[in-house]
Amino acid sequence: MADIVLPPDPTLDEMRAALGAAIPAHAVFDGWRDTALENAARAIGIDPGHARLAFPDGVTGMIEAWYASIDARLAAAFPPERVAAMKFRDRISELVLARLALARPEKQAARSALAILAQPRNAATAAKLGWHAADLMWRLAGDTATDLNHYTKRLTLSAVYGSTLMVWLDDESEGEADTRAFLARRIEGVMRFEKFKAQIIPHPERRFSMSRFLGRLRYPAH
């Protein structure tokens, strides 16, 4: 856990953000419960009673705050100039691996967090967090799609990230080689799908346009 510095009189949002980074280290031992929240609060100088006020949404709020902390650190680690120097096909892979690396110190907390999110009552939260993770990684990779591609890319990456996460949780290979190999295969599949999609979906300028068609009837090209 990196050093966490709070302002003298933090707001609830500032406390939530700070605790989001601090709780996982305690959740490794205490699980995602009030004990972890209280111990994290004491560790960074927050009154445990005030800390509870920062999480009216309970355990899922703590997990969401941790994910937000990972998002912030991932964005800081991949500024535009770093991403621009990478091949496009490598960007998503590097971002996924970096995201896993940020969670590695609290791997057991990640395992228990996923077990909580897998509960039917938390399905909406799990879907939201998966979508947000995929959206951030695509945006950091330089994706600017605003049409249907915007949604299909995020749905696809959300599935890739989720399945890679499950492999990573049980990966005991040297240097997490199994996770890397699994991700490489999934990314290759995504790239093939994107290439196929580009072939079957015409470029906007080549799509049939009734207005252009009527215009050509009226003003035929010479």
What is the structure's pLDDT at 198? 58
pLDDT above 60 for 220: no
Please state, in angstroms and as integers, the Cα–Cα distance from residue 79 to each residue in 64, 74, 84, 86, 136, following that order.
Answer: 23, 9, 9, 12, 12
Give pLDDT tens digits for 194-211: 665 655 555 555 454 545
pLDDT above 60 for 138: yes
Residues 89 and 107: their CA atoms lie apart, in Å, by 27
Q: Rounded mean pLDDT of 38-60?
A: 95
Give pLDDT tens digits for 78-134: 999 999 999 987 999 999 999 999 999 999 999 999 999 999 999 999 999 999 999
pLDDT above 70 for 139: yes
**Unique residue bearing structure tokens 């100039």:** 81
What is the structure's pLDDT at 112? 96
What is the structure's pLDDT at 209? 52
What is the structure's pLDDT at 213? 45
State which H helix or E strand residue 184 sits in.
helix 177-200
The DSSP symbol for 79 reads -
What is the structure's pLDDT at 5? 73
Do 26 and 39 meet the contact criterion of CB atoms below 8 Å apart?
yes
Residues 102 and 222: their CA atoms lie apart, in Å, by 62
What is the structure's pLDDT at 8? 82
Region of poorest pLDDT, from 107-121, 148-162, 207-221? 207-221
6 or 25: which leads in pLDDT: 25
CA dihedral 188, 191, 192, 196 (to 10 degrees): 170
Band (192; pLDDT cuts 50, 70, 90): confident
Q: Rounded mean pLDDT of 144-173?
A: 92
Residues 97 and 165: their CA atoms lie apart, in Å, by 10
160-166's contacts with Cβ under 8 Å and 24+ in sequence apart are 160/96, 160/186, 160/187, 160/190, 161/96, 161/99, 161/130, 161/133, 161/134, 161/137, 162/130, 164/96, 164/100, 165/100, 165/110, 165/114, 166/114
